[in-house]
Amino acid sequence: MGISPVLWQFLTKWLTTSAIWPAEASTIAPWADALYIFLWLMTVLGVLLVGALVLFFSIRYRKENHPVAVQIEGSTLLEATWTIIPLGIFLFVFVWGAWLYFRIYNPPADAMQVYVVGKQWMWKAEHPGGQHEINALHVPMGRPVQLTMISQDVFHSYSIPAFRVKREVIPGRYTTVWFNATQAGTYHLFCTQYCGTQHSGMIGEVIALTPSDYEKWTQQSTSGMSLAQNGERLFASMGCNACHNGTAAARGPNLAGVYGSKLTLTNGSQVLVNEAYLRDAILNPSQHVTAGFAPIMPTYQGQISEDGLIDLVEYIKTLQTNYRVQQTQVTSQSNQAAPTTPGMVKP
């Protein structure tokens, strides 16, 4: 008696295309599944072992064989065995799980950056080149991609089952997750944190493309301005360059090369300047004042959107020198000065 091939095909297709067992489409997916299958096997083994013993004992020590109950005092050897073996298994699972956790949440240094902003009820992805997409994410295969994510309102959670990654998206704080897609295809994107009435509609597609298709996509969907270029405009229009112009007389610290460096604060502590720190430095400047500077930077809380903050962060990341900062300052000053200069005739 064999299972019909049609039924078998239907079964495997249902398993791999449904949420129960989605395709393994990232480098981490087989590792996550291996741990999952191991836990599942251990559980089944435990159920079978206990079930078999219950059955065996209830037949062997049934009333007809043992009419009078006997008091058993216990066995140290037996107790030690059933303590030490499960302990060993649990510790093994702990080490395996911790190793996997660190692999999933520590992005490699060369990962490509994409920003994700979640809000009720949609996902917006922003690529460094300025490509924006709603409820979709295009990524290249065979390359680590890091998502830096933030919510504009409530808690959300970004989940790509086929990649076996999921991370909370929180208001007020960047969280990150990374993956390396191994198969071209279109995969489900879910919000896995109940976030209001239309939570179930907060879904989308993740499209993994071959490197050349991805290249084509980035060129077709460009908005003409990269995130850093948008940030440069904001930096001038919000007056950041009034204090951060890199000159000796500047009232604010030089921001060129600050990304990735270690800053010493007035309270003596040291901080690594990453995306999260830059964002926080703009919103809560008084909470971590750089050593050697007065706490004069105003807070920009409520004056700038998460998208604007991402642009500014990307701009500061690209700052290697202050040449452009000073250029924009000169142009914005002369633009402002022009109308008030007496006797000047505008062309």
User: Residue numbers of the site for ligand HEC (CB under 6 A)?
Assistant: 238-240, 242-244, 251-253, 255, 258, 263, 278, 281-282, 285, 289-290, 293-297, 300, 312, 316
Considering the complex, state which of residue 17 and residue 247 has its C-beta at the smaller distance from ligand HEC.
Answer: 247
For residue 322, give every residue at least 6 positions away whose Cβ sits within 8 Å of its Cβ, in sequence order, or none. Answer: 245, 246, 247, 254, 255, 256
Q: Which is nearer to ligand HEC, 138 or 317 (CB)?
A: 317
Question: Minimum distance from CB of 210 to ligand HEC (Å)?
Answer: 37
Q: Which is nearer to Cu ion, 191 or 282 (CB)?
A: 191
Min separation Cβ 137 and Cu ion, Å: 15
282 binds, among ligand HEC, Cu ion, none (CB under 5 to 8 A by kind): ligand HEC
Looking at beta carbons only, is 152 or 274 nearer to ligand HEC? Answer: 274
Residue 293 C-beta: closest distance to ligand HEC, Å:
4
Question: What residue 227 binds from ligand HEC, Cu ion, none (CB within 5 to 8 A, per partner kind)?
Answer: none
Q: Which does 244 bind (CB under 5 to 8 A by kind): Cu ion, ligand HEC, none?
A: ligand HEC
CB closer to ligand HEC out of 81 and 269: 269
Residue 95 in tokens: 């080490």
Binding site partner of 239, from ligand HEC, Cu ion, none, Cβ cut-off 5-8 A by kind:
ligand HEC
Q: Of ligand HEC, Cu ion, none, which one does residue 156 interact with (CB within 5 to 8 Å by kind)?
A: Cu ion
- 70 sits in the region (left: phi over 0; alpha: psi -120 to 50; else beta) called beta
CB of 306 to Cu ion, least distance (A): 15
What's the min distance (Å) between Cβ of 341 and ligand HEC? 25
Which lies closer to ligand HEC via its Cβ, residue 42 or residue 238? 238
User: For the residues of 96-140, what is the DSSP string, one character each?
Assistant: HHHHHHHHHHS--TTPEEEEEEEETTEEEEE-TTS-EEESEEEEE
Residue 309 binds which entry of Cu ion, ligand HEC, none, CB below 5-8 Å type-dependent? none
Does the footprint of Cu ion cover residue 281 (CB under 5 A)? Answer: no
Q: Is 138 in the site for Cu ion (CB under 5 A)?
A: no
Residues across the chain? 347
Q: Which residue has the tokens 């510790």?
A: 91
Q: Which residues contact 184 (CB under 8 A, 6 or more apart)?
A: 141, 208, 209, 210, 213
Closest CA to 113 of 143, 136, 87, 90: 143
Which of ligand HEC, Cu ion, none binds 41 (CB below 5-8 Å, type-dependent)?
none
DSSP string, 201-258: G--EEEEEE-HHHHHHHHHHT--SS-HHHHHHHHHHHTTGGGT-S-STT-SS---TT-
The residue from 119, 124, 138, 156 that contacts Cu ion (CB under 5 A) is 156
Nearer to Cu ion, 167 or 244 (CB): 167
φ/ψ of residue 211, rounded to 5: -55, -40
CB of 291 to ligand HEC, least distance (A): 9
Min CB(126)–Cu ion separation in Å: 18
| Residue 146, CA distances (Å) to 24, 115, 204, 279, 328 in order | 18, 8, 18, 17, 31
Least distance CB 192 / Cu ion (angstroms) = 8
Residues 165-204 that bind Cu ion (CB under 5 A): 191, 195, 202
Strand segments, DSSP code E, in the chain are 112-119, 122-126, 132-134, 136-140, 144-151, 156-160, 165-169, 175-180, 185-191, 204-209, 262-264, 270-272
Within 8 A by CB and 6+ apart from 105, the residues are 167, 176, 177
Name which of 46 and 172 has its Cβ closer to Cu ion.
Answer: 172
* Separation CA 126–CA 140 (nearest Å): 15
Binding-site ranges for Cu ion (CB under 5 A): 156, 191, 195, 202
